[in-house]
Structure 1
Amino acid sequence: MKLGARALLAAGLFVSATLAPPRVRAEEPTATAEAKAGARAAAEKGTNAFKESRYDEAVDMFLRAESLFHAPTHVLMLARSYVALGKLVLAKEAYHSIVREELAPKAPAAFKLAKVDAEKELAELSPRIPSLQVSTTPEAKNVVVTLDDKPLPAALIGIPSPIDPGTHVLRATAEGMAAPEKSVTVKEGEKAAVVLELAPVASAGPITPVPRPLGPTGPSEGREQPSGKTSPGRIAGVVLMGLGVAGLGAGGVFGGLSLAKRAEADETFDACGVGCWGPPADEVRALDDDANKKGNIGIIGLAAGGALTVTGIVLFVVSKRSPGKAQAKAFVTPWIAPQGGGVVGRF
C-alpha cells in the first residue's frame, strides 16, 4: 500500500470511526432493478430500527442501502442515526455530503427535501461538536500520540480537532520518554485542550540489597553450604530461563501474526481504493486494529521473554560461581519498560 494513501485513510479514521459517505455526482449510473429493490428493503429495515431506537442496526442498514443505490434520503437517515449514537463528527460529514451534492433538475422531490432538511440539521448540529487540542511537552523525537487506542496523525498534534463528546483516553510516547495515560471528558460544544507531559522512562525500580542471614555469632558470610544439594538460585535460574524462552516464542508468533494481518489490510485497502467507505473501510480499520494489537502483544512478549531469560542466566551463573560459599550479597532485579527490558543487580 502506498504510504500517502494509508496516511489519508488514517487521518480519516481519526475524524470518524468509519469513512463518511463521499460526495456523489448528480448523474449516478443506472442501478439494476435488483439493487434498487435491495436498497429499498435495507432502508425500510433501517427506518424501523431507527424508530425503535436501535441506532447501531439503523446505521448498518442505511450503509447497506446506500452501497446498493445512492439516495440522499439514505444518507440523511444515516446522519440522524449517528446523531442519536453521539457520533457527531460522522453525522456532520454525512450531512455535508448531502449539502454539497448537486441534484439534477428532475431529481425526486424526496431527494430535494432531504437536502433542505440536511442543511437545517447541519446548522443545528455544528455548534454542538466539541474540539480537542492535544499537545506534548517537552520537545522530543519520534512522538506518537494515541487517542482511544488509535494513532493520532502527527499533523493534528497541537491543533484543535473535532471530536465526539464523551470520555477519551490519551497516551504518548517518544524516544526514551513516555507520558502517563490521561483521560479527558469533553462535553458538547466544549473547546478542550490537553497537554501530555513526557518524562524519561525509568529503567528500573529502587534497588534494595538482600539482607544476609545471621549465624549464631554474626553474619554467615563464607559459611559452607551443604554439599550434594542443588542451589535454589540455580533452580530459579532454570525456571526463569524456561519462562523467558516461552515469552520469546510467544512474542515471535504474535509478531508474525501482526505482519500477516497488516499485509491482509494492505490487500483489502488496495482492492477498495482511497475513496472507499462503509463496510470495506470498516474491514480495513478492523484489520489494522487487529495487527496493532498483535504487534503490541509481540513486543511485550519479546521484551518480557528477553528480560526473564537474561535474569535466569545470571541467577544460574551466580549460583554456580562459588559452590562451597553462600552468595549472600548477590541479587538481581528484572525490569520491563515500553522500550524494552533487562536486569540490574550486584554479584
Structure 2
Amino acid sequence: MRLRRALQRTALALMFWAGAVTTSGVALADARDEARALATEGIDLLREGKPAEALAQLRAAEKLHHAPTHLLFIARAQRALGRLEEAHEAYVSILLERLPPDAHEAFRAARREAAEEETAIRKEIATITIEPPDSNDEMALVDGRALDRTRLSYPIGVSEGAHTVEVKAGDSVRSVVHVQAKRGETVPVVFPRVPKERTAAVVSPWPWVIAAVGASGLIAGGATGGVALSTRDDAEAAPSQREGADLAASADTLASASTGLFIVGGLLLAGGAAWGIVDVATLGSDDDRGKATLVVGPGTLGVRLTHGWL
C-alpha cells in the first residue's frame, strides 16, 4: 500500500515537472514568435522611412528575445535618427558578443555587417581609444560612464568637445586625462604605468664565508707545513735509524696534508672572493641585477655569471 502511494506521488511529481517544462518551452516559443513579428514590423517601418517607430518596435522585440539581428537594425534606426554615438555602441555590442559555433547564419551575417558599418560610422563621430589599465581591479570611465575591459577593445564613440577619462580602483581615482575630441578623429588615451615596487637587493654572505674557509685552509696549510719541516729536522737528528724513519714518514704525511690544504684553501679563497666581488658589482633590483654562482666539480672551481635580463 505504501509503495503504491509512493509511486502515485512520484508519478504526479513527474507529470507536474513535465507540464512545467512544456509550459516554459511554449512560453519561450511564444516570446520568440512575438519578437520576430515585432522585429519584422520594425524593419518594414525602417524601410518606409519611419526610424522612430521602427526603433520602438525593434527595442520591444529585443526586450522579448535577444538576437544580434535586432541590435543591427536598432543601430541602423538610431543612425537614421542621427543618434550616431548610440548607433556605434549598438554595433560594438554585436561585435563583442561571442556567438556559439552552431549560431544561425543570420546572426553571423549580422556580425559581419555590423563590423563594416561600425568602421564606416567612425568617420561621422569622434572616438576615443583607451589602453586597458594595468590591474584587473582598475576600471576606466569616460565622463563618469564605467567601461569593462572587453569594451576597451573597440573605440568609444563620443560627441565632439571636451571629455574626461579616468581610471579608478574602487572609489579611488588613480589617473585622470582630459581630451578634446573631434568628429572623424580618434583620440588615443594611454595612462602612465604605475611603477612596480623595486625590492632592494641583498649581498649574499656565502661568497665571503667560502673565502674565509679558504683563508683558514691556507693558514692551516702553512702551519702544517711548518710542523712538517720541523718533523723533518727531528728525523735527521734522530739518535736511531728506526726513529728517524718514523719521523720522516710523519713529515711526509704532514707535507702532503699541507700541500692539500694550500690547494683547497687557495681555490676556495679565490673562488669565494671572485663570487663576492661579482655579487657586489652586479648589485641592483631583482629584475636587472646579475647573479653569480660558485661552480664546483671534478677538477673545476669557478664562478658562473648570469644576468637578470637574459
TM-score with structure 2 setting the length: 0.34
Larger RCO (CA within 8 A; separation ≥ 6)? 1
Computing the radius of gyration from Cα coordinates, the structure with the larger value is: 2
TM-score with structure 1 setting the length: 0.31
Compare the two structures and name the one with the higher helix fraction. Answer: 2
